[in-house]
Amino acid sequence: MLALRLTRAARPAVQLRRLLVAAAAAGTGFLLLSCLGHALDHPEDAGAAALRLAWCAVPLAATVYFALAVARTDPGTRPRPGLSAVGLSPARLMAVSALTTALSCTLGSMLALLVFLHLRGDLTGMPFDGAAAGFLAADQPLPLPAALTLLVLPPATAAITVALALRPRDPRPATPDRRGFGRFGAYRRATARETFGTYGRFGSRVTRRTTAGTDAAGQPGPLRTTGSTDATAQHGAGSTAPSAARTGDPAGDVPTGGTPAGLPWGVALVTAGLAAQSYAGDPAPAPSLAVLLGWLLTATGLVVAGPGLTHLCGRLLQSVRPGALRLLAGRVLMTEATRIGRPLGVVCAVASAGYAMAVLYDDPSPDFGPLTALGALVVAGCTVATLLTAAVEARQCRAETIAALLRLGAPASMLRGAAALRTAALLALFGPLVLVVGALSALPSAR
């Protein structure tokens, strides 16, 4: 009931994103049902039916990835101060997010079932003069348990993924719990040993560090004492950490200014995927399982290397005596490298696969029918929508920084120019990468 109330009270933009998730789940569910119809119409060709079902893993993964991005940006289920007092703990909010995602995907699955039954002629007669009867097995009875099992896959997979990604995490670092013995056998947690007579010395139990502060002009400022204040600051900073940990903030994986460590692994996976595709041979008349595995390895490598490439792009923007515009654009790219880099890697993988297919099949082929077009639309739409959702999430996280810059007198045109510069830099880096990976993927099969 709480999930339904939060879903109904959401803003129009959030409702639109949930409807897009339902549409993606509907497309994926229809593709799964079409595989069932092909298996019913060709019971002797079990290998082709299994291959079609394996290819449905690509739109299913794209739908789940988009549903996770929408769940991360849902403001209705984001932890806020005071919610735990009324029973809305981070664990319960995670459950609400998973349930909301399951409801959206279930709506899409039911829509797919209705469209499938309508095209089969089970509801109001055969539409389109029976044009869809060939691949939907309209002349055979539909096994309802098998159809419902396939339709459960998108909601169940999306809900489990959201629950695992948004589960509450302890923001405190894991430290070894070593117990020592203090004076007169008392237990204590300190690891440093005390010298003789230290306990009774005045001020020995209070750690104080006096440092000279400097102002913005570089002049010496007033002295500040950091003792218990450091602990208070750490406690205050840690109070917001459960929210970031709960929402599955990908930017929390890498500290600000840190370099993502996945670039070498991504390059290795892309190389392995291209090698697997080169040994797969000619994909006609239908792509084999080796081609699918090669494309999956290439796509995984691009996703893993995406944050590192984005961080590198931001570092290149700040090289060779940067001005304020380039410095701001590059620093934002470096900070948001993990949040933006992974969806960029997914879009790069999908675009390179589309370019490779366009190179391999220059003329219209009968193999690319309505089901192939629907699968391509679901995958491309989900990846682009995920990238836009990640960009909106990044802008929401930078809202306080943008407001501070505006209060300091930064012109709005400079902020818009920095955004345009970031977009141009990413296109200049990832655009040729798409063409190179797509050409290398199509080269072994085109020979």
Dihedral sign, Cα of residue 144, residue 145, residue 146, residue 149: positive
DSSP 320-360: SS--HHHHHHHHHHHHTHHHHHHHHHHHHHHHHHHHHHHHH
So what's the pLDDT on residue 170?
60
So what's the pLDDT on residue 373?
86
So what's the pLDDT on residue 241?
38
What is the rounded CA–CA span in Å between residue 415 and residue 386?
23
| pTM confidence score | 0.73
Q: Is 113 exposed, middle or buried (0-12, 13-18, 19+ CB in 10 A)?
A: buried
Contact 311, 337 (CB under 8 A): yes
Opening angle at CA 301, ends 295 and 304, nearest 5? 140
So what's the pLDDT on residue 152?
94
So what's the pLDDT on residue 192?
53
What is the rounded CA–CA span in Å between residue 251 and residue 243?
13
Encode 175-240 in three state secondary structure.
CCCCCEECHHHCEECCCCCCCCCCCCCCCCCCCCEEEEEECCCCCEEEEEEECHHHHHHHHHHHHC
C-alpha pair distances (Å), 19 with each of 23, 106, 116: 6, 11, 19
So what's the pLDDT on residue 240?
39
Contact 426, 317 (CB under 8 A): no
Who contacts 24 (Cβ-Cβ below 8 Å, separation ≥6)?
Answer: 59, 62, 63, 66, 67, 108, 378, 381, 382, 385
Q: Among candidates 4, 35, 21, 289, which has minimal Cα distance to 149?
A: 35
So what's the pLDDT on residue 381?
93
What is the rounded CA–CA span in Å between residue 144 and residue 122?
13
So what's the pLDDT on residue 346?
92
Q: Which amino acid is at 287?
A: P
Who contacts 149 (Cβ-Cβ below 8 Å, separation ≥6)?
Answer: none
CA 264 to chain centre: 20
C-alpha pair distances (Å), 80 with each of 130, 242, 279, 329, 332: 54, 10, 53, 30, 26
Contact 58, 375 (CB under 8 A): yes
Element (H, E) at 366: none
Two tokens at 4? 């339904």
What is the rounded CA–CA span in Å between residue 298 and residue 443?
15
Between strands 220-226 and 187-188, the pairing is unpaired
pLDDT in tens, the chain (447 residues): 655 666 666 678 888 898 999 999 999 999 999 888 888 887 887 788 888 888 899 899 999 999 999 988 887 666 666 566 556 677 777 888 889 899 999 999 999 999 888 887 777 766 655 556 666 777 778 888 889 999 999 999 999 999 998 887 765 555 555 555 555 555 555 545 555 554 455 454 444 444 444 444 444 444 343 444 343 333 333 333 334 434 444 443 434 446 777 888 999 999 998 888 877 655 444 456 677 788 889 989 999 999 999 999 999 998 888 888 999 889 999 988 888 999 999 999 999 988 888 877 665 444 567 888 898 899 999 999 999 998 888 888 888 888 888 888 888 888 899 989 999 999 999 999 999 998 888 876 655
What is the rounded CA–CA span in Å between residue 329 and residue 105?
37
CA 382 to chain centre: 11
Which residue in this structure is represented by tokens 């009867």?
133
So what's the pLDDT on residue 369?
75
Counting DSSP H helices and E strands in the chain, the numbers are 16, 4
